[in-house]
């Protein structure tokens, strides 16, 4: 097995990035920021995010990315088998992924070094070297306070906070139920991670809120305390010696006692070959880390390896989906959108997104109340696994339950969650309660996204008081698969075609050899583009073609290496669903996007075209037709004639892409992607691809009618895209 050595991480240490060393931080009591203090009113109103820790990928974060980029590694051999190791340190990379420094018992390099950096996916147990664990416990025993750092370098801040043994502090805190500033720290950490479960916590949080007074509730910490805390923190940094980089290795290596940990060598081999910063499609998530109701500070900190021994997790489209499709015509305003996909320029396969009616204003606070039951039901296999694991783990801590799908819990736990949810989302006129609902939804969506290995989803409104977007009360966030309405059958995997290329070298090398890959050559659309087989560039950016691939392909074991599978790689760009000034809610990324980046796929409930047509105009706003233009005057093309016509309705199920607004000068284009199904049956996925480099937080848009095939209807919606090329109406 081939893995990358620690040298693979090109971590250039920049003194400007250096925060506090653990010893400096702990030695100076004046450095500790009392988070529970009421903040001054010196908040910077220009900082709309309002959270102490901004996740905005600043220039510093870009530096962070640079730091963690893999350099060309020397390759080193690990035999198959089990390997003993102990964890001696941890750091957090620029994506918030925790990487562990692992010391191996029976392996070392020629130079005698025996440590590697691993993600939680490749190690079966997060077991610290005993001396390290003791030190962490000692730190927690001494104080539950944790320093708060500035937001200049996300990776070092998170590493620093882990350095404070805050997991151990959380554990201790939840046992002792002490009231001190640690709880507030936890809330800030939660916010920092975009979760803010603290705002919806149980008694502990409420008592903490009480002790702070109304002006410094967890929610108001977002604004008026921020500047003051930042100032204190900066003072604290200035007052400390900042000569050491944050590191989670708490002490020198004193003990040589080894803890046995198992590594699945094939998984290890595979994951070592990837950049440590990439998200994985099967990243397990351990509820055990949700101590005191606070989620892990990083995307995951699994305590168990949940991959199969082959490291392969299948994503299987159900043959017939179970959810009952019952449009509630009175809840979510829909328009009937109509547009053709950009793909139709190169193929008869076209998708359409259509609408005719203007959606009513959604700024009424009543709309938010429909969110009182956020979508806890997890459709994903991974989520169910996670839930089972949680229940088996026996924890019945009420505070830990918020991330779990309610229906999958035991009746006892269900009632606890329901009570807790009611507490958190009960209709209230207070802004805090309203914001708590937003955080709750954000938390639920992020949990779903993460169960698919994808980056977080944030909800932001800097424009007005609307708390949440309009959503059907039963809406469920689904990151990357369709649901199918009853009666729609999709071919099972026994019918799929797939390639046997091991690492798809054929696809990578040149167009002349690309057709050796079954994923490239057996599709009539590929044939129509015979000289443009290469779908992705070497660096994984879309080359603006069509591709397919299934979980049966040999390369499914290593999708990140298959040039055909880029759209299946979990989204690594965090997304903000934000309120726009003129177009309702829209989306943007908190990371810069490179042209060709595949950002995600449109998900929702697949319904037949007849069912889609039956939707009243107002309910068709989030309907995406999968086949493009309907046949007119019997002039249907061959493709249309050969299969049923489908639409994807994202009113009840969907992901962030349902919020993408139209622009006449869009920065995204849509493409059809066929995977885990058959081509030519009218059920491709719709991928959103950046057609240009997109700066951080620029709204993401696509053209609802790129081929100008639709006609303007009487009640067509005026377009507010603001482009100089604006055609005036959404579908003109
Ligand atoms: C698929 S939804 C997009 C998300 C939507 N903004 C929301 O808040 O849920 C499409 C609807 O968004 C609004 N919209 C999108 N792009 C627009 C634009 N350029 N001008 C005006 N309204 C737009 C229209 O109401 C349209 O029917």
Nearest-atom index, ligand 1, CA of 621: 27
Ligand 1 atom closest to the CA of 337, numbered from 1: 27
State how far the Cα of 531 lies from the Cα of 405, in Å rounded to an integer: 47
- How far is Cα 715 from Cα 325, in angstroms, rounded to an integer? 28
Q: What are the backbone angles phi and psi of residue 625, rounded to the nearest 5°?
A: -80, 135
Q: Where are the domains of the chain?
A: 85-142+156-160, 453-702
Residue 394 corresponds to which tokens in the numbers above? 């026996």
pLDDT score, position 692: 93
**DSSP calls for 574-638:** -EEEEE-SSSSEEEEESS-B-TT-EEEE---EEEEHHHHHHS-GGG-TTEEESS-SPP-TT---H
**Ligand 1 centre distance from Cα of residue 663 (Å):** 10
Region class of 452: left (phi > 0), else alpha (psi between -120 and 50), else beta? alpha
What tokens were used for 634? 């019997």
Residue 620 beta carbon below 6 angstroms from any ligand 1 atom:
no
Q: What end-to-end distance do the CA atoms of the chain give, in Å?
A: 56
**In angstroms, what is the span from residue 355 Cα to ligand 1's centroid?**
10
Would the CB of 290 count as within 6 Å of ligand 1?
A: no
Quick check: 576 and 590 in contact, CB under 8 A? yes
- DSSP secondary structure of 246-299: --S--S-----PPPP----HHHHHHHHTS-TTS--TT----GGG-GGG---SSS
User: Cα dist. 456→20, 378, 441, 656, 703 in Å?
Assistant: 28, 16, 12, 10, 25
Q: Look at ligand 1, atom 23, and give the residue with the nearest C-alpha.
A: 583
DSSP, collapsed to helix, strand or coil, labels residue 685 as: strand
Q: Which of 475, 583, 728 to mutate to test the pocket of ligand 1 (most atoms within 8 A of CB)?
A: 583
Check if 469 has its Cβ closer than 6 Å to any atom of ligand 1.
yes
Whether ipTM exceeds 0.90: yes
Predicted local confidence at residue 217, as pLDDT:
23
The SS3 call for residue 226 is helix
Q: For ligand 1, is residue 424 a contact (CB within 6 Å)?
A: no
Cα(665) to ligand 1 centroid in Å equals 15
pLDDT attached to residue 101? 85
Q: Residue 354: CB within 6 Å of ligand 1?
A: no
| Predicted pLDDT at 78 | 61
CA–CA–CA angle 475, 480, 481 (5° rounding): 80
In this structure, the chain runs to a length of 732
| Ligand 1 in reach of 719 Cβ (< 6 A) | yes
Q: Sign (positive/negative) of CA torsion 213, 214, 215, 221? A: positive
pLDDT for res 89: 84
| Dist. CA 584 → ligand 1 center (Å) | 6
pLDDT of 612-669, one tens digit each?
Answer: 888 776 666 788 888 644 444 444 444 444 567 888 999 999 999 999 999 999 999 8
- Kindly write down the DSSP assignment for every residue of 112-150, as one continuous string: S--EEEEETTT-S---B-HHHHHHHHHHHHH--------
- What's the CA-to-centroid distance between 586 and ligand 1, angstroms? 8
CATH number of the structural domain 453-702: 2.170.270.10
Q: With a cut of 70, list the residues of the chain below it in pLDDT.
A: 1-81, 94-96, 121-122, 124, 145-158, 173-429, 432, 491-568, 617-620, 627-643, 675-680, 708-715
Tokens (6 digits) for 19: 């925060």
Backbone angle region of 511, left / alpha / beta, with phi > 0 → left and psi within -120 to 50 → alpha: alpha
Give bridge partners of residue 686 from the DSSP assignment: 672
CATH code of the domain occupying 85-142+156-160: 2.40.50
User: Ligand 1 within 6 A of 359 CB?
Assistant: yes
Atom of ligand 1 nearest to the CA of 470: 9
Q: Is any atom of ligand 1 closer than 6 Å to the C-beta of 659? A: yes
Look at residues 94, 155, 193 and name the one whose alpha carbon lies nearest to residue 442: 193
Place of tokens 């390099």: 109
């Amino acid at each position: 097995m081939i893995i990358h050595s620690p040298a693979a991480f090109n971590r250039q240490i920049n003194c400007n990035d250096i925060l506090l060393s653990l010893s400096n931080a702990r030695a100076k009591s004046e450095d500790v920021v009392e988070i529970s203090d009421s903040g001054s009113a010196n908040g910077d109103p220009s900082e709309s995010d309002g959270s102490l820790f901004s996740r905005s990928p600043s220039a510093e974060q870009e530096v962070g990315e640079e730091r963690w980029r893999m350099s060309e590694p020397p390759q080193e051999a690990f035999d198959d088998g089990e390997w003993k190791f102990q964890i001696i340190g941890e750091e957090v990379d620029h994506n918030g992924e925790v990487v562990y420094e692992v010391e191996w018992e029976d392996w070392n390099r020629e130079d005698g070094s025996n440590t590697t950096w691993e993600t939680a996916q490749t190690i079966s147990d997060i077991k610290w070297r005993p001396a390290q664990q003791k030190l962490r416990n000692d730190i927690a025993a001494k104080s539950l306070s944790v320093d708060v750092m500035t937001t200049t370098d996300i990776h070092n801040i998170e590493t620093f906070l882990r350095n404070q043994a805050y997991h151990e502090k959380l554990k201790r805190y939840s046992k002792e139920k002490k009231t001190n500033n640690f709880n507030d720290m936890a809330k800030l950490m939660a916010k920092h991670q975009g979760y803010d479960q603290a705002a919806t916590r149980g008694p502990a949080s409420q008592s903490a809120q009480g002790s702070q007074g109304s002006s410094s509730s967890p929610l108001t910490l977002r604004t008026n305390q921020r500047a003051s805390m930042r100032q204190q923190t900066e003072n604290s940094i200035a007052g400390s010696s900042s000569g050491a980089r944050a590191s989670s290795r708490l002490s020198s290596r004193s003990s040589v006692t080894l803890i046995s940990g198992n590594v699945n060598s094939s998984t290890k081999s595979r994951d070592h070959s990837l950049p440590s910063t990439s998200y994985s499609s099967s990243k397990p998530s351990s509820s055990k880390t949700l101590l005191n109701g606070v989620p892990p500070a990083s995307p995951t900190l699994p305590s168990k390896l949940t991959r199969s021994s082959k490291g392969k997790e299948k994503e299987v489209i159900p043959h017939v989906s179970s959810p009952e499709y019952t449009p509630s015509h009175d809840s979510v305003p829909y328009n009937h959108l109509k547009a053709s996909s950009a793909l139709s320029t190169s193929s008869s396969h076209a998708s359409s997104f259509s609408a005719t009616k203007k959606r009513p204003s959604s700024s009424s606070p009543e709309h938010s109340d429909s969110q009182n039951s956020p979508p806890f039901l997890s459709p994903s296999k991974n989520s169910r696994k996670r839930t089972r694991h949680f229940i088996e783990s026996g924890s019945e801590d009420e505070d830990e339950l918020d991330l779990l799908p309610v229906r999958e819990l035991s009746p006892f736990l269900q009632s606890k969650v329901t009570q807790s949810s009611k507490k958190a989302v009960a209709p209230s006129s207070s802004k805090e309660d309203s914001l708590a609902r937003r955080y709750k939804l954000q938390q639920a969506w992020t949990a779903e996204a993460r169960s698919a290995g994808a980056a977080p989803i944030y909800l932001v409104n800097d424009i007005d008081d609307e708390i949440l977007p309009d959503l059907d009360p039963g809406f469920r966030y689904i990151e990357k698969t369709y649901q199918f309405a009853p009666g729609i059958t999709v071919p099972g995997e026994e019918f799929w075609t797939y390639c046997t290329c091991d690492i798809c070298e054929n696809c990578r090398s040149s167009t002349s050899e690309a057709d050796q890959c079954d994923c490239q050559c057996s599709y009539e659309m590929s044939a129509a583009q015979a000289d443009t087989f290469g779908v992705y560039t070497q660096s994984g950016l879309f080359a603006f073609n069509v591709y397919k691939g299934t979980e049966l392909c040999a390369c499914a074991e290593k999708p990140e290496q298959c040039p055909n599978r880029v759209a299946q790689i979990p989204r690594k760009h965090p997304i903000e669903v934000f309120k726009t000034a003129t177009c309702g809610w829209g989306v943007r990324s908190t990371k810069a996007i490179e042209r060709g980046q595949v950002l995600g796929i449109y998900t929702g409930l697949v319904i037949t075209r007849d069912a889609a047509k039956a939707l009243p105009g107002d309910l068709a706003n989030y309907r995406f037709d999968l086949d493009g233009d309907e046949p007119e005057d019997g002039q249907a093309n061959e493709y249309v004639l050969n299969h049923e016509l489908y639409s994807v309705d994202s009113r009840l199920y969907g992901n962030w892409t349902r919020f993408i607004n139209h622009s006449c000068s869009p920065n995204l284009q849509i493409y059809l992607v066929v995977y885990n199904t058959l081509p030519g049956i009218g059920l491709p996925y719709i991928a959103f691809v950046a057609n240009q480099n997109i700066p951080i937080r620029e709204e993401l848009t696509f053209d609802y009618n790129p081929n100008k095939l639709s006609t303007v209807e009487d009640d067509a919606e005026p377009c507010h895209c603001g482009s100089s090329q604006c055609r005036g109406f959404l579908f003109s």
